[in-house]
Amino acid sequence: MPKYDYLYLGDNARTPYGTRSFEVVYEYTLQAVKKLFAEGCPLIILACNTASAKALRTIQQNDLPRLYPERRVLGVIRPTVENVGAITLSGHVGVLGTPGTIASNSYPLEIQKLFPELIVTGESCPMWVPLVENGEADKPGADYFVRQHLESILKKDPAIDTLILGCTHYPLLLNKIRQYLPSHVRIISQGKYVAGALEDYLFRHPEIRERCSENRTCRFWTTESEDVFAGRASIFLQEDIQAERICLE
């Protein structure tokens, strides 16, 4: 949906969120939400599984009705979960995620709401985000950590035939993951499902869609130095970007 204007905020100075407590993730996420709302954003996507798992529900149920009744905040877990039932054949699903996402039990809970017959197994992968952010995703050093966690989750449940990449960093490890994963196991990478869900949401909520400006712009904010952020962002976007450093409080 390139016609819309996007403002990306990366709290890079305080990452990773995956090892932080529920209280801290909620506090940091709410600060980011308030900052984006102050800039005029009518709709925010928490493009982080940990924030979606630990902060989204509280923000939606407590903070929005009280502070921002006309604004909306969405996450990345529900759009992914909605597609699992049509993909798995064995009924056994694995979730790879940060320690925070796995500890929250958000994926099993959401999957059980829609597909109570499915069996869900989680695996915490604490080293995968640092590997990606330090440009090691395609290096030999990543092999050990990728193989370790894939072997671990398949040992927990050998019947798994569908694997959710429950972190937005993990698609950059896709080549390594496929290398050590049995060929029959299907991989769910969140990007297209989240994008599709957003498009559907805007179609169903014209009152929000009409408030989204359409000038085809994309701005980047970071709580880290601009140069550090630009270097990491180029790993994901495969292009040079200009960022502005901001503070959250």
State yes or no: is 167 an active-site residue: yes
Are residues 6 and 218 in contact, defined by beta-carbon separation less than 8 angstroms?
yes
Residue burial 51-62, b: 16+ Cβ < 10 Å; e: rest? bbbbbbeebeee
Whether 41 is catalytic: no
Catalytic residue among 41, 125, 167, 218: 167
8 A C-beta contact, residue 125 and residue 145: yes
DSSP-assigned beta bridge partners for residue 244? 221
Backbone dihedral angles phi then psi of residue 69, each to the nearest 5 degrees:
-65, -20
> Other C-beta atoms within 10 Å of 225: how many?
13
The Cα–Cα gap between 243 and 137 comes to 23
Choosing from 41, 48, 125, 212, the catalytic residue is 48
Strands 162-165 and 119-124: unpaired
What are residue 123's phi and psi, to 5 degrees?
-140, 120
Single-letter amino acid, residue 128 = W
Single out the residue of 71, 123, 74 nearest to residue 98, CA to CA: 123
Two tokens, residue 31: 């600060």
Query: Which residue numbers are catalytic?
Result: 48, 167
